Amino acid sequence: MISQVYSGAKATILINNKVVAAAFVADYSIDTRATEIEALDYVYPFELAPERIRVNMSLRVYRTPDNDPVLDEFAPGRADLGTQGQYGFTQARYITIEIKDNYDQTILYLPQCWLVRRSGSMNAGEFLVENWSITSIGYMGPSE
């Protein structure tokens, strides 16, 4: 097997196969909790049994007027003013995140994600940058 080095990675955020944003920094963690199966009169665990996998990702994205998570309905937020001036809230839906390299090879694929936290910063004369925290159900690794 030839070793490969990923370069020029980019993360695209898709809803129903439509690209809604691109991230320029992505940090992720995949944690697998395991239970040790013990055997009588044996110092080391006999086996490790996986319990739960947690997938979390932090993304830094450029915000533009056409990639508002609330308007695209993948983040909860104010949807509309009701007839009596009450705010309605949108329900978040699953998004897909795919990180690819320069050669369009998938590095990491998260099929069912939720945007669980947003924060941003903005300076005069600069782009609006947001930090998105994502939680996912499952993941897939590199493709061949």
- Interval 9-59: pLDDT, tens: 777 777 667 777 777 888 889 998 999 999 888 899 889 998 888 999 998
Residues 6+ apart with CB under 8 A from 103: none
Q: Nearest to residue 101, comparing CAs of 35, 30, 4?
A: 4
pLDDT of res. 47: 92
Residue with tokens 């924060």: 119
Q: Residue 126 has what DSSP assignment? A: S
21 beta partners: 13
Residues in the chain: 144
The maximal CA–CA distance of the chain, rounded, in angstroms, is 71
Look at residue 144 in the predicted model and tell me its pLDDT: 47
Which tens digits make up the pLDDT trace of 48-75? 998 888 999 998 887 776 767 777 767 7
